[in-house]
Amino acid sequence: MQWVEVTGRTVEEAKEAALDQLGVDEHDAEFEVLEEPKSGLFGRLRSEARVRARVVPTAPRPKVERRERRRGSRERKGNSGDRAGGGDRAGGGQPRSRSEQSEARAGGRKGQTVTTEQSEAQVDPPSLAEEAEVAKAFLEGLLTAFELEGQVGSEELDEETVEVAVTGTDLGLLIGPKGQTLTAVQELTRTVVQRKLGARSGRLLVDVAEYRKARRAALERFATGVADKVKEAGVATALEPMNPADRKVVHDTVNAIDGVVTTSEGEEPNRRVVIMPDQA
């Protein structure tokens, strides 16, 4: 997953800005503080905090690799016991020289390294197609449980993202007010895939009745209209609080328009985008 690097007056402000760029919630991201903010004379800010962040990788270290590491640890303990009991003697019973002992230990370590590399090559995280199949089966079961009619399909949006979409009529129950139920369904689907496959290797999105597609288009139109008014009046406008994914849509839309820029202010769940005239 690609890292983004941002700055802010505080570390928390920089983290919030990174979440806006990634379009995810805080629990889906990991951060690395590159530089703490520094104060100058009279409390003035001399330099801003600098943070980098990325979406949390979802595939854990392969279980086979962990088993091989434990096995290697037991082998090293056994070798240690051999040395304590006279294991440093050659096959003919003669004591080994220090150089021979070093070569033997080095050879053992090399063998363990090869074993670990082989185990890594043998275990792969699930493919996007495999994740999509598990997600589709779960969502089909959800439709049955709620006695709803619909079809479930999937599409790989890019090499790291797959979208599973439910289409049909009267699916508002799975969307909820402002898409809140849909957000919960998406998180539940991700959890099911994680438990079923033991890992996730990409970003899994869930849509119902093209709600996300329609909302994105509506947000783009809305943001463009507000940006035009800000350019004309020269006055900044703060939008209503949005989730990170919606804020990202607004940021991307407005920042593609000359004469206006965006920033974010506030804390979750009341963080909002501010559209301002570009003073540059």
Helix (H) or strand (E) holding 214: helix 211-233
> Residue 277 has what pLDDT?
94
Proportion of the chain in helix, strand, coil states, percent, rounded to 5: 50, 20, 30
Q: What is the DSSP string of 107-123?
A: HHHHHHHHHHHHHHHH-
Of 252, 257, 260, nearest to 235 by C-alpha is: 260
- DSSP-derived letter for residue 278 is -
Mean pLDDT, the chain cut into blocks of 10 residues (280 residues total): 80 83 76 83 72 72 47 52 48 50 47 42 75 96 95 91 93 92 92 88 90 93 96 94 88 94 87 89
> Residue 116 has what pLDDT?
41
**Contact at 8 Å (CB) between 51 and 34?**
yes
Output the six-digit token pair for 186.
């998406």
**Distance in angstroms (rounded) separating the CA atoms of residues 161 and 144:** 26
> Residue 130 has what pLDDT?
94
Output the six-digit token pair for 73.
């640890």
> Residue 106 has what pLDDT?
45
> Residue 1 has what pLDDT?
57
**Distance in angstroms (rounded) separating the CA atoms of residues 64 and 127:** 18
